[in-house]
Amino acid sequence: MKFKEIIELLPYQKPFLFVDELIEISENGISGNYTFQKNESFYEGHFKDNPITPGVILTETMAQIGLVCLGIYLLKDKISSEKKPQIALTSNQIDFFLPVLPNEKVTVISEKEYFRFSKLKCKVKMFNDKNELICRGTIAGMIIAK
């Protein structure tokens, strides 16, 4: 399955799609990136005169790249344009260390802990262009082809 096909199968669209490209993928993990444009709607009020990407958006970015894209890849033989992936986030625990500012590009690296009974759990990390750790943690969800 090609990277572009995985992104096209995501159940998201702008303004809630936080995947620009996938860099690497295997049965054990995935990496990809996203650039937060200065005109993203959430910057208008978070924070006044000092826009910072909300933690929930960083978590969503890690989930889209590190969990959903990987899940689509792992289910590649069962997913198609007719049988789209169904996704439900079940848990996450994320620690934040650095802010992400407008126009900043981030890279997400995810390592599969397990995938069984349709539940995928991954260790995820997010880095900035200086290779500084922005946040890290675990994300789990249910992914099935329906």
> How many angstroms separate the CA atoms of 34 and 89, rounded?
20
**Does 146 qualify as catalytic in the annotation?**
no
Q: Which of 17, 46, 99, 137 is catalytic?
A: 46
Q: How far is CA 116 from CA 99, 112, 119, 146, in A?
A: 34, 11, 5, 17
Across the strands, what pairs with 110?
30, 124
Q: Which residues are catalytic?
A: 46
